[in-house]
Amino acid sequence: MTEAEAAAELERLAAEIARHNRLYHTDDAPEISDADYDALTRRNAELERQFPHLVRADSPSKQVGAAPAGHLAKVAHALQMLSLDNAFSEEEVAEFLARVRRYLNLTDDAEVAVTAEPKIDGLSCSLRYEKGVLVLAATRGDGTTGEDVTPNARTIGDIPQRLSGDVPDIFEIRGEVYMSKADFAALNARLLAEAEDPDKARQFANPRNAAAGSLRQKDAAVTRSRPLRFYAHGWGEVSALPADTQSGVMRAIKSWGVPISHDIGLFTDVTGLIAQYRKIEAKRADLPFDIDGVVYKVDRLDWQRRLGQVARAPRWALAHKFPAEKAETILEAIDIQVGRTGKLTPVARLKPVSVGGVTVTNATLHNADEIARLGVRVGDRVRIQRAGDVIPQVLENLTPDEKRPAYVFPDKCPECDSDAVREEGEVDIRCTGGLICPAQRVERLRHFVGRHALDIEGLGITHIEAFFRDGLMQSPADIFTLKKDDLLARERWAEVSAQNLIDAIDARRMPPLDRFLLALGIRHVGEVTARDLARRYRSWDAFQTMIDGVLALRHETQPVIGEEERKFLQRRNKAVVEAVGTQNIGPEVANALLDFFEEGHNREVVAAIFAAGVAPADVVHEVRQSPVTGKTVVFTGSLEALSRDEAKAQAEALGAKAAGDVSKKTDLVVAGPGAGSKLKKAAELGIEVIDEAAWLRIVAEAG
């Protein structure tokens, strides 16, 4: 893999993992299994090991969870709530212990006591007690900031309002809020029975989602009606510790009246840890709650402090994940689901089968290539795997030799009949009708009004979903035809709030060209690319003229013979890139632009937006001359006086290019506290490095 390919792959992984983090931690609606998520993070880690200088500021290896959703009050954690590194084999567990010994400068045969306990699949929660009284409960959120769920946590019977015994003045207990398997089944049955329309009844996918959705309710009465439980597994900020070992502190927490696992063991070698892992794995299906592995922690607290942490995980702990559970059944149908980003995902409809105590009727087939690899057809007997208690996956076709017609993957979107295309080098097939496709509309609307796009204040996801559901907002154009009377006719809308939203919408009728391009949600067109396109063409008319001209290139007669076809595609891609004409555009991005504007439905929606009174503003270059004009600047580390976006905007106003990574083309690096690999690479390349204060002086002197 080339460096450019690695950088592109890391960018894709960062965006994809961030999206799945939001779906899992914020929306409580995961789309992939834990195993598939782990595969993405392991791929990211592998590339970062091979190309350490390409580690991104937004790398998943530096992130924990996802930012809070917004409907609950935010709360900053006194100590960061970290994630855990994962292991999937005995060799990785042995290497974990070896790393601990190396870091502590111990001999290979030195005894290191380690606790082992089940990893409950729930929602992380911290409980802050002051003088033994519960004063705050918070979700993990992104590890730094969580959501205040104190009223809801008070309804959970396992969480004491007051701790018993001799408790330190401040003690923050951390653990998992979960729901038992039986209570989960009963809750779904009750929700189904209470629904006026059974087809529209709210049903949770698994106990973890049910627990998360129940704890993060606005109304504590709803939480009270849900059978939630709690297990402690650690602690955060404390004024004093009752013991000098992990196991000793956990015994103290239990003595204060907070439940801990019954299966915590203490071991001094890999053999003991693996034996405990096998013991817990053997009774996994019979436990009353879901677990997905075993967590190991160095027992001595002084060693924990010495070991410290990496970006998002402690060095003294490890999660040893369980392998997926498997079963065999019949594939009865293959349906195509369209995701919120347009991805067409084939779903296997299965003859019901029990896997690990859960009845499974659906499994993912991932994509067209996976169907071809497996050779599956309707009627085949298949082996499935349940990984992470989300949607299972098909592993193997057990009847490949039986005569049945091959499955043909659709070339049209089943939701909107737009073309479904596969980009060159991609495995996924996507709907090109992003602005009109029903499966994508809510996500597209949310993106359209988002902070980095049109940034319409007061039009959040809750309002968008409600307006969409009621037929008031089906496409971006509907935003600009919204009337105050439409809002006043709805519950909880008053004169002031309705007028404020209308004013906020009207204020965005002449958006900057780059923000408008970004708002359209064109695949691969992010902030930097949208800004480059806006600077290159400066007006919508000039940009549209370019698009129409390049589309003509795409429609040239194409040879269909091996080497000649390859050469033709190379020539056409080069022509497309040269015609688009910005330094950050490659064939992948250029062709994504063309896919978008070649789809007639998208052009109709853009025309409707303009007809509703929107006119993107032309770009006016106002570059101040400065010592950095024409140079490439990279910002790294934590900036204190500026946000990263503001710093980049300053650089661009001074005629500089703000880049994300350090390379031989970089002229200047502005480094704040915590600067890491980029600062190191700048030193290796002999690139000038200044601090934030020096940067601010450059800005001030440029006027």
* Alpha helices, H only, 205-327: 207-215, 220-224, 246-255, 270-282, 301-307
Contact 399, 371 (CB under 8 A): no
Q: If DSSP codes are grouped into helix, strand and coil, which group holds residue 29?
A: coil
- Residue 668 phi, psi dihedral angles, 5° rounding: -150, 140
Active-site annotation holder among 74, 119, 343, 648: 119
To the nearest 10°, report the CA torsion of 302, 306, 312, 318: -60
DSSP 447-487: HHTSTTTT--TT--HHHHHHHHHTTS-SSHHHHTT--HHHH
Helix %, strand %, coil % for the chain, to 5? 40, 20, 40
Q: Which residue has the tokens 């496709």?
A: 437
Residue whose C-alpha is closest to residue 666's, from 699, 694, 635: 635
Q: Which residue has the tokens 């149908």?
A: 333
Chain center to CA of 215: 21
Burial of 244 (0-12, 13-18, 19+ CB in 10 A): exposed
Q: For residues 568 and 557, what is the distance between their CA atoms, to the nearest angstrom? A: 10
Q: For residues 100 and 110, what is the distance between their CA atoms, to the nearest angstrom? A: 11
Counting Cα atoms < 13 Å in the Cβ hemisphere of 76 gives 1
- Residue 421 phi, psi dihedral angles, 5° rounding: -125, 155
Tell me the one-letter amino acid at 491: E
Contact 659, 648 (CB under 8 A): no
Burial 615-638, CB ≥16 within 10 A → b, else e: ebbebeeeeeebebeebbbbbbbe
Bridge-based pairing of strands 358-364 and 632-636 is unpaired
- Residue 130 phi, psi dihedral angles, 5° rounding: -120, 120
Question: Cβ neighbours of residue 47 under 8 Å, at least 6 residues apart?
Answer: 1, 6, 9, 10, 13, 54
Residue whose C-alpha is closest to residue 311's, from 48, 119, 115, 75: 48
Residue whose C-alpha is closest to residue 249's, from 238, 72, 492, 40: 238
Cβ-defined contacts of 682-687 (< 8 Å, 24+): 682/634, 687/662
**574 labelled catalytic:** no
Structure tokens given for 669: 């690096």
In the chain, what is the greatest distance between 2 CA atoms, to the nearest angstrom?
83
Contact 414, 339 (CB under 8 A): no
Q: For residues 90 and 273, what is the distance between their CA atoms, to the nearest angstrom? A: 9
Q: So which residues are the catalytic ones?
A: 119
